[in-house]
Amino acid sequence: MGSVTKRPATPKKSDLDLAAKAAAALQEVISGGGSLDEEGQDAIDKTIQFIITNISMIEDPEEKQMWILRADPHLGNFDRVIRMNDNVTKLVPDEILDGVQGTDREKADTLFNNFMAHFRFKYGGSTPAKVFLATGAGDCASLAEGYVLLLKACGVGSAVKGGYDDFNLVEPCESFGRPGTYSTDERGLNYWVYANHYWAEAEGRKYDLLLKTNTPTGPLPSTFHTKTDAGAFQGVAYYIYSNGACLIRKTEDAKIKDGVKGQGIAFASEELVQQFITGNKV
């Protein structure tokens, strides 16, 4: 992938104090099996928000994961508290694992339902699986990896991460941890826009935690449209998808009147996207 577009902010003393408090709170829970108090949870939430804000500036995935360790010893300690914990079941509240028993299929279904009902998910940049389980901060890859890690800890060896590693559109729907039902500009069609998408697979089922679906493994659903080509018209670039839809991406913001809102402007065909460009090009 690409290079760093902006350097992360240098942590302030208040950030470090919160990180140290968050690390101590997590360590106490992991060591003693207790639960987080309100102050400890608040420290964790604010520390994770600081981390998410900064790693979102970084394009390289390895640098994203290593930034916490390089930024400062306190933030590094916070990360290591989570990474060093071998019993991943201690990283989540008891209700996430409540009733996860029976056959492997029953375990996978119950864990999925518990995630949907009880997991405190905060959508943001990708985070390692243990960090995600302890904090709730991450993206679709974090959801899939964290779910798989927990499912394996519950004895389901067949659990793996699946996914589609290219741009895609998804029909409007509820999305776990995100407001609304789509992310595109109101001037076009409504879709979720993803640069890639990941889910978990186990016992012949596909557990897509971000899109809140539990379906048999197999072809991508009809609501999921993959990028098949790219085009350009009057200097404005767009992607073409498997259902014929076209998307002017956020990268073309400066070329369109009033910019590109959301994650892009979608149209049903190349003819329609080109008509829009003709009338709205800067």
- Span 28-52, pLDDT tens digits: 766 655 566 777 777 777 776 676 6
How far apart (Å, rounded) are the C-alpha atoms in residues 228 and 35? 48
* Alpha carbon 112 to chain centroid, angstroms: 16
pLDDT at residue 53, as a whole number: 67
Q: What percent of the chain has pLDDT over 90?
A: 57
User: Looking at residues 70-93, what average pLDDT do you find?
Assistant: 70
Q: What percent of the chain has pLDDT over 70?
A: 80
Write down the mean pLDDT value for the chain: 85
pLDDT at residue 159, as a whole number: 96
> Which H helix or E strand runs over 229?
strand 224-233
Give one DSSP letter per residue of 202-218, joined into a string.
ETTEEEETTTTEEEESS
User: Looking at residues 112-137, what average pLDDT do you find?
Assistant: 87
User: What is the pLDDT confidence band of residue 149, given thresholds at 50, 70 and 90?
Assistant: very high
pLDDT at residue 39, as a whole number: 79
Going from the C-alpha of 196 to that of each of 61, 166, 180, the distances in angstroms are: 14, 5, 20
pTM of the model: 0.76
